[in-house]
Structure 1
Amino acid sequence: MARQLDEQIAGRYPVGQRLRILDVGMGQGTQALRLARAGHQVTGLEQDTTMIAAARRSLDCEPDGIRERMRIIEGDGRDTGVHFLPGSFDVVLCHGVLMYVEEPDPLLAGMARMLAPGGLLSLLVRNADALAMRPGLSGDWTGALASFDTTAYRNRLGLDVRADRLATLTATLAGIGAPLHAWYGVRVFTDTAPDDAPIPADVATLLAAEERAGRTDPYRGVAALLHLCGVRG
């Protein structure tokens, strides 16, 4: 996913341009820190105090230049208009957040307003069109049958959350002025791997296969996650 995001950024902005990036629901700040290390000015917005503490610990270990390029704000992603002016960012990320939001449209609209013209909105969501894949591949036939006509599921943390359909998000992005520009599948082959599975010796080959599948039909359509990139008109 990081490679896909970097590809989209490289395709829109000159090499070396320092971008203004907002990471909504930054979690522990892994993506935000990676982008700050790349030279961008990054703002992380997060409401979970445990995650914020972890992100601050990681940031404290960075050189002065990187610490100066990243700021962390405690707040709800649905309140971007409280913290920032419209058009304040070149790139807005929202990765792994929408599944916890019952009504995502206001959040999406608020993030789109934060984008400058031509800005990039990057979303990582659970793929509702492939919810039957995980239980089906695990031999849970009852669970697979129950997953076809719903957007609700229970994640690996035991939380009841929701997924998004590509067609629905495509329409939503068009409606908020950031129409879909590109999309990818994420975790096509590796979704059923245990969280504690050891890293395989041929991890480079595995990543290459995942990368190829995530860009190729029909494989990307059954990925566990979808990475969508919209562009502000």
Structure 2
Amino acid sequence: MTHSTPLSPAGDRHFDGLAEKFAGSLYGGPRGALRLALLDELLPAMLDLDGQPMLDVGGGLGQLSAWFAGRGHTVTLLEPAGEMLERARVDLVEWPVTFVEAPLQALPERAPGPWPLIACHAVLEWLSDPRAALATLAGALAPHGQLSLMVFNRDALRMSNVVKGNLQKALDDRLEGTGKRQRLTPISPLCHEQIATWSRDCGLSVRSVAGIRVFHDYLRHPPTSEADWQRLVALERRYCQAEPHWRLGRYLLYTLVRAEGSSEEAPR
């Protein structure tokens, strides 16, 4: 029997019942390992970090919260899926992390800030209205606050479908998932132009951008030796911020900065 995960009343995809899948096939495999390895290098380079309090929105199992807590930040983890949050609570018991069970849309009531640092990784693509969600994040930032935003790249999803031979699907631009099955194709994959435009509308400036997994997901055959794996990691590190390669990263990683006095109102 096929398990289905219903959408939330707001039309968003949450991940109740999928904690094991995330822990195993995603973060426990090479895709997740490569993603975390790249973040370990990129986050200190792309963000100004001085141990400031930070909010991890949609933090899931808490890998990102652990990364920041381990570097001296007091972390608040906001996550709507109760099972995910409980796993994170157990795994992060030794770290200075506060846990809040709530969706991103509840941020103004449950964790209003203003925050000097917010991370929101791999969340917007699972929401029915990612533009409004970005405005909510912008409104929670302090003046000159930083938002580390990572989104699933629509252009990379198109390229992946072409590589797999799904030519008509790519021509028809039928790239979104339904959010109702265990397959993890986002319901709202996003492109760089959307993030750049929406950020400007929210009073945010794009300070830096990188591609996460710009080569790995297009390989016909994954590395079979440690030496080839290290070569792949070296290639990913070398080209993750280089034109034109970053534009086809499976994820796009941004540092967005809020200007002092910018509006907190969501664009209409």
Alignment TM-score > 0.5, same fold? yes
SS at match of 2:129: coil
Task: Indicate the residue corresponding to 2:81 in structure 1.
Answer: 48
Tell me what 2:266 maps to.
none
Equivalents in 2 of 1:134, 1:86: separation in Å? Answer: 38
**What is the match of residue 143 of structure 2?**
117
TM superposition score normalised by structure 1: 0.84
What one-letter code is carried by the residue in structure 2 that aligns with 1:32?
S
Shift of residue 128, structure 1, vs aligned partner = 1.7
1:97 to 1:200, Cα distance in 2 relative to 1, 3 A = farther
Pair 1:199–1:33, CA change in 2 (3 A): farther
SS in 1 for 2:216: coil
1:91 counterpart (117, 122, 129) = 117
- 1:108 is displaced (CA, Å) by 1.1
Larger mean CA deviation between 113-122 and 90-99 belongs to 113-122
RMSD after superposition: 2.3
Q: Is the 8 A contact 1:86 1:113 kept in 2?
A: no
- For residues 128-164 of structure 1, give each alpha carbon's deviation from its aligned partner in whole angstroms, at most 9, with x where no partner exists: 23332112222333333333xx662468825561211
1:131 alignment partner, one of 135, 150, 157 = 157
- Report the equivalent of 1:201: 226
Q: Does 1:26 align with 2:59?
A: yes
Which of 178, 181, 184 is equivalent to 2:207? 181
Residue 102 (structure 2) aligns with: 75
Q: Please say if 1:38 is aligned against 2:71.
A: yes
* SS across alignment from 1:191: helix
CA contact (8 A) 2:130 2:188 kept: no
1:169 and 1:79 map into 2 onto residues whose CA distance is 21
Cα distance between partner residues in 1 of 2:85 and 2:51: 24
Partners of 2:158 and 2:175 within 8 A in 1: no
Report the alpha carbon displacement of residue 198 of structure 1 after superposing the two structures with TM: 7.3
For these two proteins, the number of residue pairs brought into alignment is 217
Identity %: 27
Distance 1:86 1:36 in 2: 18
CA gap 1:139/1:176 in 2 versus in 1, 3 angstroms: same
Q: Distance in 2 between matches of 1:160 and 1:39?
A: 32
| Mapped contact 2:209–2:255 kept (Cα < 8 A) | yes
Q: 1:64-100, CA deviations, whole angstroms, 9 ceiling, x for partnerless residues?
A: xx2xx2111110111111023342x221111111111
CA distance in 2, matches of 1:125, 1:160: 10
More moved, 32-41 vs 122-131? 122-131
The answer to whether the 8 Å contact 1:47/1:76 transfers is: yes
Q: Residues 161 and 231 of structure 1: is their aligned pair in 2 closer, same or farther, counting only changes over 3 Å?
A: same
Deviations along 1:183-222, whole A, 9 cap, x unmatched?
A: 111111111469xx67740333322211222111111112
User: Structure 1 CA distance, aligned partners of 2:225 and 2:52?
Assistant: 35
Moved more, 73-82 or 153-162: 153-162
The code of the aligned residue for 1:96 comes to A
CA distance in 1, matches of 2:257, 2:213: 24
The residue number in structure 2 matching 1:224 is 250
* Contact 2:214/2:248 (8 A) holds in 1: yes
SS in 2 for 1:132: helix
Q: Which has the higher strand share?
A: 1
